[in-house]
Amino acid sequence: MQASARHQRHRLATIVGLLPLIIFLALLLYVGLNAPNFLTVVNLKLVLTQSLTVVLSVIGLSAVVMAGGDDVVSGGIDLSIPATAVLCAGIVAVMTSAGQPVILAAGAALVASMLVGVVNAVLITRLRMAPLLATLAMFVAVVGITNVITERKRLNLNADSIAALRGDIVPGIPLGILLVAILSLLAWFFLHRSKWGLNLQAAGGSRDAAEISGIRVDRLVAQSYLLAAFMGFVTGFFMLARANGYSPGAQDNLMLEMVLATFLGAAFSPRRIVTVWGAILGAVLVAAISIGLKTIGVNVFWTDLIKGALIVIVVALSAISQRVQ
Amino acid sequence: MDTFANKNWLSPRKILMRFGFLIVFAAFFLFFAAWNPVFVQGQNLLNIVEGSAILIIIALGMTLIVATGGIDLSVGIALDFGAAFAVVAMKSYGMGWFPAACVGLLGGSLVGLLNAALVVGLRISPFLATLGTFFIGSSVQRIFTHGGGPISYRQMPDGFRNIAQGNLFGIPTEVIIAAVLVVIYYLVLERSVWGRRVHAMGMQRSAAIVAGIRVNRILIACFVFASITCAVGGLIAAANIRMFTPLSGFAYLLDAIAAVFIGAALHPRGRPNVLGTLAGVLFLGMVTNGLNLMGLNFNTKDALSGIILVSALALAVAQRNMRSADGD
């Protein structure tokens, strides 16, 4: 009798736990029924292309959250990824417009991006600054430096190799989507299947327990910030490709979408933890919803309201399902 | 032991530990003063305080929420709502300045009520709940203003304009309002039993619950109180430029968080506190003003203040670490 009650409770929890995903899919289905061209290959490609920069940043962010723990204020978080991305995009745009080869520009951008990662890692693991605070301050500083480099100007892209990210590699599959898919698989493997990734998750799950079992937590945490900075570097190129150049001000929206996607992703995962695949799914779904709402003619002023309501509903449902369990 | 302590008192490490941030504060002050003598003139110092009035008010609200152990990303929305409700009440409903100001505060409190409902009612973490409120509040403003155009009201009653532009014995009203709020916050958060409870739940929530503190009730009160405070900032902003500019509150968010954490780093036990926040805000205000007086290019100034922000925070945190390592 008792066992069946518990069983029922467990089933209820599973259903409530799946609700976030169901709500999303229902919303997409609704959009698909109202706009016949929404569920087409062309549009699907558009959704994926639109989500590439967010997908790349959430890979970095989820690594940081996994290593630092998912408490947003005291755990791991890296808000500076979008700033690193615009820094990289700015450096590459300025150097290539000045006639420098792309390789050289990319090298300089890589050095600058990793420097951001190193500063983050030092502030957080050496000075024990709260990651939210450290990376938020770094966001402001890095965006400021980027504005000095680019003089807040729009710069057109002057490098075919970066524009090639938009083009098809084999007919029908754009190079950018393929590359991001490969990177996502690699990230999934390294963060969820390798020894390093498991240590990283152990460090984030319980810092003390990880330290007692001999995991060098600080080193892993520092590495996660370096990885995040590297993902910011990669994101920069996709930003350049998408906007066909550098346009100032891309960082704010990316920051919000990145955080939104990562924590929505946690609500999709069965144990309510941040995972790479959850975050990527979150990024793609958010892009799909944004484009979908546009296709059925929802006033663009309402999009933020719907996104905000979605965060609240999804996160609330995941809190409820945890309580039911 | 005592003699030892006295001997060590003058070691550079101890000096840095005790006065590190103060030394930096003073160094910047002297640097700006040397660069441009105008910086130290009474009028300019008053300008710094006046320019920081809104940030002080927002940072006070943030201090309260951070003291509960959360964070509030929607402070800017509460500011916008305060301004919007007051301006619309005067412009469209012809209210007097005082009722309109009260309507503005009520409008701001809606933001706090929504946050409280999400955090306490639905048990969403404050970061995500207030991020949701931020999205929703931004969108509501865009819908209401058809895309974000400002609502200006040049003929607003003098009483309302005086909230920002009047003065009492030569001191601008906004400075007086900010000062009064600082005193209220200090008394409530640092000197009252209620404030102790807030800090207790912020430090160890489960222990606070065991000790019989009604955590939920306090959280609701804090969110509402903080949003009303931010709405006061909104009234000042609206009175200053005689209009409501949608989404203008976002500009204060990062500075408010930075000020609170600089202040917390100055505290012996690393707690957010009212006087520390005030020091943080004044530091940020001084840097902005000083860089302006140096006549730098807009972009350079922004980059420099960002770099100074990172270094100041790093220093404040390092100072706290050294102190706690020495068990001082």
ipTM metric: 0.81
Give pLDDT, residue A69.
Answer: 83
> What is the tally of structural domains in chain B?
1
Cross-chain residue pair B143–A312, CB shorter than 8 Å: no
- Residue A56: what pLDDT? 96
- Put simply, the answer to whether B307 touches A141 (Cβ < 8 Å) is yes
Strand duo A245-246 + A155-156: pairing:
antiparallel
Looking at chain B, the whole-number percentage of residues with pLDDT higher than 70 is 93
**Share above pLDDT 70 across residues of chain A, in percent, rounded to a whole number:** 98
Q: Is residue A123 less than 8 Å (CB to CB) from chain B?
A: yes
Please report the pLDDT score of residue A46 as a whole number.
87
Q: What is the pLDDT of residue B14?
A: 66
Predicted confidence band of residue A73 (pLDDT cuts 50, 70, 90): low
Does A323 reach chain B within 8 Å, measured CB to CB? yes
Q: What is the pLDDT of residues B273-287, one digit of tens each?
A: 999 999 999 999 999
In a domain, B325, yes or no: no
**CB contact A259 to B (< 8 Å):** yes
What is the mean pLDDT of the segment spanning A10-33? 80
CA angle B168, B227, B96 (to 5 degrees): 50
Summarize the confidence of residues B164-190 as an average pLDDT: 91
What average pLDDT does range A200-225 have in this prediction? Answer: 91
Please check the confidence at residue B186 and state whether its pLDDT lies above 90: yes
User: What's the average model confidence in pLDDT over B42-63?
Assistant: 93
pLDDT beyond 70 at A42: yes
More confident residue, B239 or B168: B239
Cβ distance A315 to B124 less than 8 Å, yes or no, reads yes
Q: B313 vs A129: CB contact, 8 Å cut-off?
A: yes
CB-nearest to B303 from A119, A145, A260 is: A145
The verdict on a CB contact (< 8 Å) between B143 and A140 is no
pLDDT digits (tens, 9 = 90+) for A243-299: 888 988 888 889 888 988 998 888 888 777 889 999 999 999 888 888 888 888 888
pLDDT band of residue B2 (cuts 50, 70, 90) is very low
Which three-class secondary structure state does DSSP give residue B295? coil
pLDDT higher for A5 or B84? Answer: B84
pLDDT band for position A79 (50/70/90)?
A: very high
**Can you give the residue range of the structural domain that contains B153?**
24-318
A162 vs B219, residue with greater confidence: B219
Average pLDDT score over chain A: 88
User: CB A316 to CB B124 under 8 A?
Assistant: yes
Nearest CA-CA partner of B22 in B274, B231, B275:
B275
Task: Reply yes or no on whether the pLDDT at A7 is more than 80.
Answer: no
Q: Measure in Å the smallest separation between the Cα of A295 and chain B Cα atoms.
A: 19
When CB atoms are compared, the residue of B127, B313, B321 closest to A128 is: B321
Question: pTM of the entire structure?
Answer: 0.87
Partner A, chain B 145-164, Cβ-Cβ below 8 Å: 146-147
Q: Is residue B135 part of a domain?
A: yes
Q: Is B275 exposed, middle or buried, given 0-12, 13-18 or 19+ CB atoms closer than 10 A?
A: middle
Chain-chain contact of B129 with A315 (C-beta, under 8 angstroms):
yes
Residue type, B192: S
B129 shares contact with chain A (CB less than 8 Å): yes
* A42-302: CATH topology: ABC transporter involved in vitamin B12 uptake, BtuC (1.10.3470)
The residue among B235, B236, B195, B220 whose CA lies nearest residue B126 is B220
Q: Is residue B16 part of a domain?
A: no
CATH number of the CATH domain containing B282: 1.10.3470
Say what the pLDDT of residue B3 is.
45
Give the range among A184-193, B265-274, B313-322 with minimum mean pLDDT.
B313-322
Task: Tell me the shortest Cα–Cα distance from A264 to chain B, in angstroms.
Answer: 10
Give the pLDDT band (50/70/90) at residue B327: low
Establish if B157 belongs to a structural domain: yes
Report yes or no on B238 lying in a domain. Answer: yes
